[in-house]
Structure 1
Amino acid sequence: MISIAGVVISLDLIVMAIWGIIFAIFIIKLFQSIRLVPTKSAYIVERLGKYKSTLDAGFHALIPFIDKVAYIHDLKEETIDVPPQECFSSDEVNVEVDGVIYISVVDPVKASYGVTDYRYAAIQLAQTTTRSVIGTLDLDRTFEERDLISAKVVEVLDQAGLTWGIRVHRYEIKNITPPETVKNAMEMQVNAERERRALLAKSEGDKQSKINRSEGYKTEMINLSQGEMQRRINEAEGKAEEILTIAKATAESIERIAEVIAKPGGENVVRLQLGEQYLKQLDGLAEGSKVVLPGNMVDFDHWMDSIGLQEKK
């Protein structure tokens, strides 16, 4: 009897434990069915393994054991690093390229069921597109056509994103690394180009310097010639002004003499002045000079008449 009672008690304890476990599981599932969805997030709910709904930001209650959150998506823009990969350019040069993708989920349902892992798929598609684009470019153009490569990758990812429920905002190439030998050759080419530009700039400077000196000398000669021309013009104008002034003064003097002669006794006054001037000239003559005098100084008046100062009878 004792053993049977012990077995009954053990069975009761086991049943109670099982019910306790079931109750605990029910409580846990009940709490798990209450979901608080953050902003810019989306929860994909499945009911008995089938898509049921998409939970937006806020409070939501699910049916325990029936509904479950199968996928959680962050709707904010995110960056995905594209690992380095080897690509061959059209001139058969091996380069290593890596980049970064900026994407965001725009359709959580397609991002959940349209592709297994949209991040991995985007990386693989970006790598294959990058290889195909670089394969059409020379090595030198791969460094210049980064925008072309990025635009092509974004175009291809956008087309795939319609099925995957994602949007590719941009793709940026971080590094394009050529082999060490090619890098050394490119550095030598860059140094040669830099030296060529330096020599060209120096020759252009020398040329411009010579041009400036010749232009300065030309300007100086023009200024000197113009100054000499202006000086001669000024001297000529001064002489012309002097001649005009003297002529004007002479004309005025003659007019006044004529007016004086025309007055009564004017001829005598003029005769007297001329005689004084004549005598002064005689006093100023140096020795040895020949002077023509009238034979009779008394006949001075007759001599004066001979030069036209006496009134004509």
Structure 2
Amino acid sequence: MSITLDKDTDTATLPERIRRFPFPFLGDQYRYSANVEPANKNVPTDAGAWGAGLIDIDEFYHKELADREAILARDPSRMAVLPHMRPAVWDTIATLLPAMAAEYPDIMSFHREGNACRWQNKLQDLDVQFTVGDDDSLPTGPLRFLGTQIQDDIVLLDIRDNTMWLDAGLVTFAADWSFNFDVGMSFLEIHGPVPRVKEENIISRAEQFLMRLQPGEQFRRTNWTMTVGNRLDTSTETYPEWGPDRGTIATDPDMPDKLHLRVEVQHLIRLPHTGVLLFLIRSYLLPLRDIAKVPTWRQKFGHVLAELPDDMAEYKGIIRYRKAASDWLLAG
């Protein structure tokens, strides 16, 4: 059943990229919060729905995986595994591949007997056998292999000394941060630059919540920013390629098509065997032009941008164009 948007439009006429988009705003204001909820719960929106499963495979699957391969070929530092995290990488594979096979039984399958596994992915005409714990049983190694199967970025946090440490991951689609710079840092060190979160005790509360997760538990949250151009790789390493566009987009007549709302759906999973915390970061882009096709989204996002405090707008890198974006959205 479709939802009526106005007298001329309903959700059935909207492209899939809009109907599946995880629009993050419930009201006309935004402030930092943990906004954590249980995973695997369908979330209806004014355009459709999102979030029914753990791993989302959409129309951009092949393109995004090809982008990831190109990024890793240029910059291998986007992947790192400290030696003590090898078991956690295999724990991640043993957790995610069965979940994907259960969620997409027509195109994926996973069979395991002891440590011997067989993974089939019809989207890639792939049929591979490997042994859990044997890095050489996968030609590219386990973490790189997993990065060829899911669109999500992967971050693994070890828990020791009463805190969490970013000790492994594969991150090709960072939003204005550097995975390579953060490897080896603690959870609090990584989030230190975020305005307001220290004063409002958000990060320490989030850390305590995450460390209390039990093995196998799965939660999620959303985060958002804006991106000029349809590109997921806005890491600090590539800033010269996209940073200057922030200063010109406000006066660009093509702003509604070039300026995107970027939403991350972050899954938070306590791995069942190693107890390591797995962060999956799935990023979505939608241009203002598409957002405006859903009247409630147009209004909410316009008001959020207009009301957002300057320090938060500065941190998100949107302060130079957020008024132009808000004005366009609210002009209706």
| TM-score normalised according to structure 1 size | 0.19
| Greater relative CO (CA pairs within 8 A, separation 6+) | 2
